Chain A
Amino acid sequence: EPEVTQTPSHQVTQMGQEVILRCVPISNHLYFYWYRQILGQKVEFLVSFYNNEISEKSEIFDDQFSVERPDGSNFTLKIRSTKLEDSAMYFCASIGDRSSLYANEKLFFGSGTQLSVL
């Protein structure tokens, strides 16, 4: 079965540094998402992305965060100046075409990037 690939699996950074988390969604998918999960807490929505623009974002996704699809395969999440509270597991997810989204098809999740801010 096709899968969403995330790199790196672990990222350690110093507070105030910029990090870029990378994802390769399933090749024919059109809707892309970033979620995060702080240890022991729920999976939280950050942002959705379609047709090269943000379609929806949460309150967590402030000016320190940005997303980009620089080419036909990669989808990235950038945190400009990391804070201690950004430490979490970050999941990328994708869904297929528009009919899949509104037919409630499943989100395909990657295995995540564990971000540790020191």
Chain B
Amino acid sequence: EDQVTQSPEALRLQEGESSSLNCSYTVSGLRGLFWYRQDPGKGPEFLFTLYSAGEEKEKERLKATLTKKESFLHITAPKPEDSATYLCAVRDTGGFKTIFGAGTRLFVKA
């Protein structure tokens, strides 16, 4: 059964303090790994898709990387507006569903 585990559950940073969020996954065959951002009371908002080990994607202060068992979301010099819950998700080969992890709640203090 596909599984996604994210750590830490919550992360508190000072503005400008870089850090990384971890996502460990288990799938029979990886079709894609996704990162989403979720603000309170809102639906998840797409950030990145990663397809294969070694791949990296960047967007502003965020950079996502992928290995065969994990993905990392690196946040460089975060700002308070980066405060949100970051969700990792996977889809396996041939499936229609995307499975989500429990998320990491990020708090960035000015």
Min CB gap A30→B, angstroms: 11
B contact residues around A84 at 8 Å (CB): none
How many residues of chain A have a CB within 8 Å of chain B? 29
- Contact across chains for A42 and B91 when beta carbons are under 8 A apart: no
One of A45, A91, A106 near B34 (C-beta < 8 A): A106
One of B31, B42, B96 near A111 (C-beta < 8 A): B42
A89 to B38, CA, bound (A): 13
A93 within 8 Å of B (CB atoms) = yes
A111 to B94, CA, bound (A): 28
| Partner-contacting stretch, out of B17-25, B58-66, B68-76, B98-106 | B98-106
- Contact across chains for B51 and A104 when beta carbons are under 8 A apart: yes
Known: A41-B102, A44-B100, A45-B99. A91 touches B31 (CB 8 A): no
A109 within 8 Å of B (CB atoms) = yes
Known: A44-B100, A56-B96. A104 touches B44 (CB 8 A): no
Instruction: Mark B residues whose CB is within 8 Å of A.
Output: 31-32, 34, 38, 41-46, 49, 51, 87, 89, 91, 95-103
Known: A48-B97, A55-B96, A104-B49. A42 touches B42 (CB 8 A): no
- Contact across chains for A104 and B34 when beta carbons are under 8 A apart: yes
- Contact across chains for A104 and B96 when beta carbons are under 8 A apart: no
- Contact across chains for B44 and A109 when beta carbons are under 8 A apart: yes
User: Can you list 29 A-B pairs with a CB-CB distance of less than 8 A?
Assistant: A4-B43, A31-B96, A33-B98, A35-B100, A42-B103, A43-B87, A43-B89, A43-B100, A45-B97, A45-B98, A48-B97, A50-B96, A56-B96, A58-B97, A91-B43, A91-B44, A104-B31, A104-B34, A104-B49, A104-B91, A106-B46, A106-B49, A107-B44, A107-B98, A109-B43, A109-B44, A111-B42, A111-B43, A114-B41
